[in-house]
Amino acid sequence: MITTDEDLKDLLSQAKTIAVVGASPKPWRDSGAIAEFLQKKGYKVFPVNPMYQEVLGMKCYPDLKSVPEKIDIVDIFRNPDEVMPVIDEAISVGAKSVWMQLNVVNELAAEKAEKSGLRVVMDLCIAVEHRALVR
């Protein structure tokens, strides 16, 4: 599990592509705003949500398998009990890491991801950490 500022900064600095699972165009949802924030910070962002064709002007994909590029970070905006299938899919597509957003805590999913070689962040906001650590 990645917990130190140095490791978080390293992960955010090395990543180029981020899939935002649970991205939503609804303005009251953080997922869309954070996807937009990450895009403005220079990441190639892939919203993932089978409910939408587009999120904030970005093509939205129904699942991780549909994302046309290798994924560095899978940023997860899902209820904790809905995380395991996302982890399974992240493993199957060869993602490098998974980031479970603030209040998304699933120890079994985190353990499975780590055992499969993924770097794991849990219960932190990617935008907050980016603002604090990446210049």
Beta strands in the chain (DSSP E): 17-21, 44-48, 54-55, 58-59, 73-76, 97-100, 119-122
Residue 101: domain span: 5-133
Question: Do residues 74 and 19 make contact, with C-beta atoms less than 8 angstroms apart?
Answer: yes
Summary mean pLDDT of the chain: 96
**Would you say residue 9 has pLDDT above 80?**
yes
Give the model's confidence band at 135: pLDDT under 50 very low, under 70 low, under 90 confident, else very high: confident
The count of domains in the chain is 1
CATH number of the domain at 40, please. 3.40.50.720
Give mean pLDDT, residues 87-116. 98
Interstrand relation of 54-55 and 58-59 (parallel, antiparallel or unpaired):
antiparallel
